Structure 1
Amino acid sequence: MTPLIEKLQQVAVFSELPPDQLEWLVEQGQETWLDSGHILRREGDLADCVFVMLQGELRVYQNMGDHELVLATYQTLDFFGELPILTGEEHFWASGRAISPCHILELPSAAFWQLLSRCPSVTRRVLSTMAQRMLDVQSLYKQNEKLVALGTLAAGLAHEMNNPAAAIARCSQDLSQILPQLTAYGMNPPVLTSSQQQAISALYQEMVEQSPQSPLDPLTQRDREDELTHWLEDQKIPDSWQIVPILVSAGVNVPWLDHLVNQVPSQHLSSVLHYVTTALSSREQLHSIQIGAARISELVTAIKDYSFMDQAPIQTLDIHQGLESTLSILSHRLKQGAITVQRDYDLNLSPIQAYGSELNQVWTYLIDNAIDALVNHPTPSIKLRTCQEKTHLLVEISDNGPGIPPEIQPRIFEAFFTTKAIGKGTGLGLDMAYRIVRKHGGDIYFESISSNTRFYVRLPIAVVL
Structure 2
Amino acid sequence: MSELLTTPPEQLAEQLRKIAVFSDLPQEDLLWFVSRCQELRIAPGDIMMCEGDKPEFMIIMLEGEIRARAERGPADGPVFTMNSGEVSGMLPFSRLKIVSVTGRAVVPSHYLAFHVSHFEEMFHRLPELVRRLVGLLADRVRNVTRQEQQHEKLAALGKLSAGLAHELNNPSAAARRSAAALRDCLARLRSAARSTTIGPEDCATLAQAEEEIRLSLKPAQFKDEFARVDREEAIQTWLESHNVAEPWKLAPYLAEANLTDPNLARFAAVAGASVGPELTRFATLLEMDRIAEELENSSARISDLIKAIKEYSYMDQGPVQEVDIERGIETTLTIMYHKLKRGITVTRHFAPDLPKVMASGSELNQVWTNLIDNAADAMNGNGNLTIRTARENDFVLVEIADNGSGIPADVQSRIFDPFFTTKGVGKGTGLGLDVVNRIIKNVGGQISVKSVPGETRFQVRIPIQPVK
The answer to whether the superposition gives a TM-score over 0.5 is yes
Q: Which of the residues 367, 391, 394 maps onto 1:362? A: 367
Measure, in 1, the Cα distance between the counterparts of 2:35 and 2:58: 13
1:313 equivalent in alignment to 2:342: no
Q: Which amino acid aligns with 2:419?
A: F
1:130-160 superposed Cα distances (whole Å, 9 cap, x missing partner): 2222333333333333333323222222222
Does the CA contact (< 8 Å) of 1:207 and 1:251 recur in 2?
no
Please, which of 107, 122, 130 is the counterpart of residue 137 of structure 2? 130
Query: CA 1:41–1:408 in structure 2 vs 1: closer, same or farther (change >3 Å)?
Result: farther
Q: Are 1:304 and 2:310 an aligned pair?
A: yes
Q: How far apart in 1 are the matches of 2:135 and 2:25?
A: 15
Q: Would you say 1:439 and 2:448 are equivalent positions?
A: no
User: What is the rounded CA distance, in whole Å, between the counterparts of 2:103 and 2:313 in structure 1?
Assistant: 37
Correspondence list, 1:84-95, <5 A: 86=93, 88-95=95-102
Q: Match of 2:448, SS?
A: strand
Distance 1:31 1:383, change over 3 A: farther
Report the Cα offset of residue 251 of structure 1: 3.0
Residue in 2 that maps onto 1:460? 463
2:3 is matched with which residue? none
SS in 1 for 2:132: helix
Q: Which of 409, 427, 450 pairs up with 2:412?
A: 409
Q: Deviations over 1:168-210 (max 9, x none)?
A: 12221221222133244446552252552243232343145x3
Name the % identity.
37
Q: Do the aligned residues in 2 keep the contact of 1:50 with 1:81 (CA within 8 Å)?
A: yes
Aligned-residue offset at 1:92: 3.0
Distance change >3 Å, CA 38–CA 306, structure 1 → 2: same
Structure 2 length normalisation: TM-score?
Answer: 0.84
TM-superposed deviation, 1:307: 0.8
- Verify: 1:293 aligned to 2:299, yes or no: yes
1:12-91 maps to which residues of 2 (within 5 A)? 13=21, 16=25, 23=32, 26=35, 32-61=40-69, 65-67=74-76, 69-76=78-85, 78-82=86-90, 86=93, 88-91=95-98
Q: Return 5+ residue gaps in structure 2 as ranges.
A: 1-5
Alignment correspondent of 2:392? 389
Are 1:254 and 2:254 an aligned pair? no
Q: Secondary structure at the match of 2:228?
A: helix
| 1:211 and 2:216 are equivalent in the alignment | no
- What corresponds to 1:280 in structure 2? 286
Q: CA-atom RMSD, angstroms?
A: 3.4
Following superposition, the deviation at residue 394 of structure 1 comes to: 1.6
Q: Deviations over 1:240-279 (max 9, x none)?
A: 33333333333322333344344442x2222221111211
Against the structure 1 CA distance between its residues 31 and 155, is the aligned structure 2 distance closer, same or farther, given a 3 Å change threshold? same
Structure 1: which amino acid aligns with 2:304?
E
Checking the alignment, whether the CA contact within 8 Å between 1:190 and 1:271 is kept in structure 2 is: no
Decide whether the 8 Å contact of 2:257 with 2:287 is kept in 1. Answer: no
Residue type at the aligned position of 1:315: Q
TM-score norm. by structure 1 comes to 0.84
Distance in 2 (CA, whole Å) between partners of 1:367 and 1:263 is 61
Measured in 1, the distance between the counterparts of 2:409 and 2:38 equals 39
**How many angstroms apart in 1 are the aligned matches of 2:467 and 2:232?**
67
TM superposition shift of 1:117: 7.3
The one-letter amino acid paired with 2:67 is R
* Residues 227 and 115 of structure 1: CA distance in aligned 2, closer, same or farther (over 3 Å): farther
- 1:151 maps to 158
**Contact 1:5–1:23, Cα closer than 8 Å, also in 2:** no
Shift of 1:234: 4.2
Q: Is the 8 A contact 1:413 1:430 kept in 2?
A: yes
- Shift of residue 356 of structure 1? 0.7
